[in-house]
Amino acid sequence: MSPEEKGEEKTSAEAHAYTPGLKVKRAMAVDKMRRLPILGEVLVNEGDKVEHSALVAKTEISGDPEIVKVAMKLGVEPEDLPRYMKVEIGDKVAEGQQIAFYSALFGLIKKEVTAPVSGTVEALSDLTGQMILRGEPIPIAIDAYIPGKIVEVMPREGVVVETNAAFIQGIFGIGGETHGVIKVVVGSADDELTDDLIKPEHKGDVIVGGSMVTMEALKKAAEIGVSCIVVGGVRHNDLTDFTGEEIGVAITGQEEVGLTLIVTEGFGKMRISQRTFDLLKSFEGSYASVNGTTQIRAGVLRPEIIIPHEQFADEASEELAAGMVPGTPVRIIRQPYFGAIGKVVTLPVELQQLESESHVRVLTVELEKGEVVTVPRANVEIIEE
């Protein structure tokens, strides 16, 4: 499109981005809600200072029930069962303890049923002849995950922990919450993270690579016990081989693959954004809390790197731009300019036809080398600076 044409167009003063930009912040107040799955007890008070490993709430979920087919095992009718029971509802029984006994023909035939696990007799049915034996309660506790201050207590449910930190979101991750010291092992954002760069001393660290992590590097990092890898891209096939399963739906975080992986840009070889790379580099040696959990549908969760610190706190109040205006820095997130970074030039109001012949709302972007391209508004994300 020529500049003259652009000049004649009706343009939007501001437009919302369909894809919210990922946060890459040097300093902000990070809040983390730490919530029990069911009601329980909160162990800290508002205003308390906590370390990342401090337990903040705990509860117990009722133990697993064990169904014991007592009538069937004794060979009696369910309605006759009460006569043969040796325990009552509410009794505690130990594993192996006799719970029912049957004898016939003056004791020549004897049958008994013993408790398969320790627990409490919860129910007994004279219709099915089944007994429900409830196992010991299972304790659940949650930790603070980030060091900081308790700023809110939700009675019986959990707390909100707040800290001043650098905050970086990835686009996709696997593996759950973990911690470690940041080590940048590549020279530039373009470099691949290969296995030779991972050393035994990286055990427990959060290591940062450039454009892509290789399969060998993933394997070696897991062997050594690296906590987390942060990198621009990963090949789809490598991820499948590494996790042992093809990712179908983006609900991750439960994988047990020995480490947490945070991909900042996408799939394939993708240079980690310079801003992310520089920020991580400036915090080399600092301690970070990281989480690979990703959920893209219903309640978007993106993987995160939280680096608590005391400095730069005055920047924390900086507000994010709500929408796109001419000059807004954006990243193009789809072919044919995937990964390109530029600034919004115009936001034409009228629908325009794409090469695919779809008619959509577009914007024009000036890329880093000066070229101006037209892309669908849906295919850019705002770079939050």
Q: List interacting residues with other proteins (CB under 8 A).
A: 18-19, 37-39, 62, 64-67, 78, 122-123, 125, 127-130, 132, 134, 157, 171-172, 235-237, 246-250, 266-268, 294, 296-300, 333-336, 338, 354-360, 375-376, 378-379, 381
- To other proteins, the closest distance from the beta carbon of 34 in angstroms equals 15
Return the number of the residue (205 or 255) whose C-beta is nearest other proteins.
Answer: 255
Q: Which is nearer to other proteins, 105 or 127 (CB)?
A: 127
Q: Which of 168, 181, 176, 169 is nearest to 259 (CA)?
A: 176
Query: In angstroms, rounded to a whole number, what is the distance separating the alpha carbons of residues 318 and 25?
Result: 10
Quote the least distance from Cβ 354 to other proteins, whole Å.
Answer: 5
What span, in angstroms and rounded, lies between the C-alpha atoms of 41 and 56? 9
Instruction: Give the shortest CB-249-to-other proteins separation in angstroms.
Output: 5
Task: Please tell me whether residue 167 adopts helix, strand or coil conformation.
Answer: strand
Separation CA 74–CA 87 (nearest Å): 15
CB of 199 to other proteins, least distance (A): 29
Using a 10 angstrom Cβ sphere, with 0-12 exposed, 13-18 middle and 19 or more buried, the burial of residue 365 is buried
Nearest CB to other proteins, comparing residues 257 and 301: 301
Q: 108 vs 249, which CB is nearer to other proteins?
A: 249
- Nearer to other proteins among residue 153 and residue 307 (C-beta): 153
Which position has the token pair 């994988």?
Answer: 255
DSSP state of 136: P
User: Cα dist. 308→47, 145, 157, 272, 351 in Å?
Assistant: 17, 11, 25, 22, 45
Whose Cβ is closer to other proteins: residue 247's or residue 321's? 247
User: Torsion angle, CA of 319/287/59/296, rounded to 10 degrees?
Assistant: 50
Shortest distance in whole angstroms from residue 296 CB to other proteins: 6
Give the nearest distance from C-beta 184 to other proteins in angstroms.
24
Rank residues 177 and 265 by Cβ distance to other proteins and give the closer one. Answer: 265
Q: Determine the 3-state secondary structure of 200 from DSSP.
A: helix
With respect to other proteins, which residue has the nearer C-beta, 199 or 235? 235
**Please, what is the minimum distance in Å from the beta carbon of residue 97 to other proteins?**
19
Cα radius of gyration (the chain)? 29
Shortest Cβ distance from residue 36 to other proteins (Å)? 9
Q: Which residues, 6 or more positions from 134, have their beta carbon under 8 angstroms from its beta carbon?
A: 62, 63, 64, 65, 66, 119, 120, 121, 122
Q: Confirm if 305 and 276 have CB atoms less than 8 A apart.
A: no
